[in-house]
Structure 1
Amino acid sequence: MNILIIYAHPNAESFNYTILNTLKNSISSQNNTKILDLNKENFDPVLRFDKENKRRDLKDDPATLELRSQLTWADHLIFIFPIWWGGMPAILKGYIDRVFAKGFAYEYKGTLPVGLLPGKTAAIITTHDTPGFYANFFQQDYGKVLKKQVLKMCGIKTNTFIVFPFTRNSNQQKRNTFLSKISAYANNL
């Protein structure tokens, strides 16, 4: 299976980075794996429209050609990111805005969206500092927008959603337990 890991955290000493390393070291070598570290790649998340840059041309933007090729290549996508202010980091949102373009990732048939990336699956792995009960009952996003309003619209089925809540109050035992869960998930790919 072709696996694309899309990683969005700027600190190489973060728990998210430990998750990334645990994941990549646990995926079987029978799979083909690529890692897209948006911060390390200095991805420009800013979407620009003007006389020369039209929204309708995003699907053909040469600046994101390689990123679109990676999505086409992948059978399975794994997103790793922290939840900040209830949602994904700006660099990941910019990646979605610029790469998951109309005419490439989705189109409309009348008023209904049709996904152009069918047959692909995804996993979302997030961390956040909010206590789990609060995030589950009072917050709206916490990674759900990516699953329900982006990936689903593009024809991608999210089959795994793994969350590590209340990171700031976690101890090493809780982190190790979570990393074991990440390893078990990766071993089954």
Structure 2
Amino acid sequence: MSGADVLVDGYDRIKEVVHDATRGLDEEALLFRVDPAANPIAWLVWHLTRVQDDHLAGAAGTEQVWLTEGWRDRFALPFDELDIGYGHTSEQVAQVRAGVELLLGYHDAVHERATAYVGGLTDAELAEVIDAEWSPPVTRGVRLVSVLADGLQHAGQAAFVRGIAERR
């Protein structure tokens, strides 16, 4: 199994958890907050997908699906076009209102682009430094694993929130 194969498997797992965490939910459940400052499922899925889209586009040297496939317009959020949710206030988090179909449509489009990209990488390309601003410099593989870890954490949080929402 190559490094690329491992990454594809990891990104497939994010998609699986995202689908399980959102399956059959209505808008009320997607917007449920464990407390007033907590992140709801809709924001968590939107954010993890934005991060994946942004960071993979950066690693691949391509445009984001958010912009090229019209997802920004479909979500119609009042944020900067490149906003990924990092540092959002509680009020900004509350502005991410989307149904399951929209969230999964965007997530699946990003997932398709991501797995096509990472699945074609060689070990030499994974070892290439793509961000020398950090110490140590960040390789493509390290960046892709970072995005993978972040995505799994947020998908797990969405699943956790779903579990709480179902028991109220």
TM-score (norm 1): 0.29
Determine which structure has the larger strand proportion and give its number.
1
Greater relative contact order (Cα < 8 A, sep 6+) = 2
TM-score (norm 2): 0.31
Determine which structure has the larger helix proportion and give its number.
2
Compare CA radii of gyration and give the structure with the larger one: 1
